[in-house]
Amino acid sequence: MSTVLEPPETGCWKKIGIYGDSSCRRLPEHGHCRNCDEYSAAAKSLFDREVPSEELRSWTEQLAQVKQKQLLQTTTSVVVFRVKSEWLALSIQYFQEAFEPRPVHTVPFRSNEVLRGLVNVNGELVPCVSLADLLGLADEQEGRTDRRSSPARMVVVDKGKDRFVFAADEVLGVRQFASELILKPPSTLSKCPDSLSRGVIEIEAKTIGWLDENRLAAAVKGSFTQ
């Protein structure tokens, strides 16, 4: 709703104008005081007023809240999981499914620390890799006592022609976050020159490394030739 600015309370319009006794000789010419240059000049003077500090602070707070609301409207959906002691995330469009751990069949002369072998996924043999070894993640701290909210799972990533499986110690599920609130990658994921992390996100008091799917798929594919 727009606000109509009225000129000051004192003026000819209050005495001989439309708000007075209407005796102004220029009133018939203009039809209304608002069409007169005297009235317009007084109305414009309202913009030259000094804004009260309390009103200025109130508008600043309101505009800041609108900006923050708009910021949080741009969200990204990811699947959050844990490998060793590291919380990680993948964009949901590359997540295909998760299931209970299954046997991994080694491939003679091809299996290595990263490429563990093949896993049967709905009748198809899909490469199974170790994210812990690919990312160089350290073992969990000894004496860890917190309980898992979900059991270990195998996660299937489908990125076009690049499809692979990895084991996760825990899958938290699908979460959303504001894309603009991404922080720099943690030291545990950026110690290698070719980091596989897009950055860090904060979800449910957890620091989570958001993996770059393109770099991850390239690193997985490179492990097949080692």
Specify which residues 90 forms β-bridges with: 79
Q: What is the DSSP letter of 120?
A: E
The residue ranking higher by pLDDT, 4 or 72, is: 72
pLDDT single digits (tens) 114-137: 999 999 999 999 999 999 999 888
Q: What is the pLDDT of residue 190?
A: 46
The alpha carbon torsion through 203, 204, 205, 211 (nearest 10 deg) reads -30
User: Quick one: which of 187, 181, 192 has its CA closest to 215?
Assistant: 192
Partners of 89 in the beta sheet? 80, 210
pTM reported for the whole predicted model: 0.62
Domains of the chain, CATH where assigned:
12-72 (no CATH), 75-140+149-223 (2.40.50.180)
Task: Return d(Cα 27, Cα 207) in angstroms, integer.
Answer: 71
Residue ranges of E strands in the chain: 75-83, 86-91, 95-99, 115-121, 124-129, 153-159, 162-168, 170-178, 197-203, 206-211
Q: What is the mean pLDDT of residues 172-176?
A: 91
Query: pLDDT by residue (tens digit) across 44-82?
Result: 666 666 667 777 777 777 766 655 555 555 788 999 999
